[in-house]
Amino acid sequence: MTALLDVRDLTVAFETPRGRTEVVRDVSFELAPGASLGIVGESGSGKSMTSLAVMDLLPPGATRRGSIRLAGTELTTLPPREMRKVRGARVAMIFQDPLSCLNPYYTVGLQISEAYRAHRPRATRREARRAAVEAMERVHIPHAAERVDHYPHQFSGGMRQRVMIAMALSGEPELLIADEPTTALDVTVQKQILDLIAEIRRDTGAGLVMITHDLAVVSEIADDVLVMQHGDVVEQGGAEQVFSRPRHPYTRRLLEAVP
Ligand code: ADP
Ligand code: MG
């Protein structure tokens, strides 16, 4: 079976006046359709750069090398036009801080509608608005029909993350990449968002890459785990095996740090 996502020898480097720094080194992993992979590691280990490389959204000055295949299609050589169609429609991303992704002056309904219309050019505004309300209901935002007209700052952190998830689902992606989606949230809200992500996986069959520094999150949601340290993969395998029999001292240290 063709992997949903097949990343081979991905290296990401920054060119600076002082030279070249590799922040992701020869990372390889495979994700089967509908499967979930947790990428863990401390801050600065290269988790975000790995996911941004997949989306071709690396910051200026960063270059990537290696192969990234989505259901057999090589993404690294896709023309930018084609890559724009992949983002959102086939692979959607959720970030740690929804406020940095939402326009403060537009209602969430408008922003979800726009995301919806970006993938369905023939949809009318009315249809898109209805889809936005439905999407908000799907992620269990109460009173969606009224809240669709509210602005990002009128939502709590957890509700804002639900808005981001609603937006991410608007293109019906095959793959969801979540980069620390619960890190900025209170513990009880973290659990609710994780449950929602698990529910969406069940309902849509989408694959999931869950990036986190929190091993508890991974043990809850991931089939496989990849442990990164300073840009290198130090351990990877089935979540259960990695958690019960960690081979690398770094993984053991991460596990010991879990309360
Ligand atoms: P993580 O998500 O695991 O916390 P990142 O992938 O964000 O780590 O970062 C990996 C490394 O890349 C870090 O050492 C970080 O300092 C470096 N880095 C991130 N962004 C830039 C940038 N714009 N310029 C130079 N280095 C960067
Ligand atoms: Mg990060």
SS3 31: strand
Ligand 1 centroid to Cα of residue 231, in Å, is 9
Cα→Cα distances 186→8, 157, 232, Å: 36, 9, 30
Round to whole Å and give the CA distance between 199 and 232. 32
pLDDT for the residue 130: 97
For the CA of 16, the nearest atom of ligand 1: 25
213 Cβ inside 6 Å of ligand 1? no
Say what the ipTM of the complex is.
Answer: 0.98
Which tokens is 222 given?
């991931």
pLDDT for the residue 241: 93
In a domain, 30, yes or no: yes
Ligand 1 centroid to Cα of residue 225, in Å, is 21
Report the residue among 20, 49, 93 best suited for mutation to probe ligand 1: largest number of ligand atoms under 8 A from its CB. Answer: 49
Q: What CATH code is carried by the domain that includes residue 234?
A: 3.40.50.300
Structural domain range at position 219: 1-88+209-257
In the chain, at which residue ranges do the beta strands (DSSP E only) sit?
A: 5-16, 19-31, 36-40, 62-70, 73-74, 91-94, 175-179, 207-212, 224-229, 232-238
Angle between the N-to-C axes of helices 157-169 and 187-204, in degrees from 0 to 180, rounded to the nearest 10: 20
Angle at alpha carbon of residue 219, lines to 217 and 179, rounded to 5°: 35
Round to whole Å and give the CA distance between 244 and 236. 13
Nearest CA owner, ligand 1 atom 25: 14
For the CA of 230, the nearest atom of ligand 1: 14
Regarding beta strands 175-179 and 91-94, do their DSSP bridges make them parallel or antiparallel, or are they unpaired? parallel
The tally of domains found in the chain comes to: 1
pLDDT for the residue 258: 77
Mean pLDDT, each 10-residue run in order, the chain (259 residues): 96 93 98 97 96 97 98 97 94 94 97 94 95 98 98 97 96 96 93 96 96 89 96 96 92 84
Round to whole Å and give the CA distance between 164 and 170. 10
pLDDT for the residue 192: 96
Is 127 exposed, middle or buried (CB count within 10 Å of its CB: 0-12, 13-18, 19+)? middle
In a domain, 25, yes or no: yes
251 Cβ inside 6 Å of ligand 1? no
47 Cβ inside 6 Å of ligand 1? yes
41 Cβ inside 6 Å of ligand 1? yes
pLDDT for the residue 206: 97
In a domain, 2, yes or no: yes
Ligand 2 centroid to Cα of residue 47, in Å, is 6
In a domain, 98, yes or no: no
In a domain, 101, yes or no: no
For the CA of 41, the nearest atom of ligand 1: 3
Q: Do 229 and 42 touch, CB atoms closer than 8 A?
A: yes
Round to whole Å and give the CA distance between 164 and 152. 10
pTM equals: 0.95
In a domain, 142, yes or no: no
Among residues 86, 250, 53, 100, which one has the least CA distance to residue 171? 86
In a domain, 119, yes or no: no
Q: Do 116 and 169 touch, CB atoms closer than 8 A?
A: no
In a domain, 227, yes or no: yes
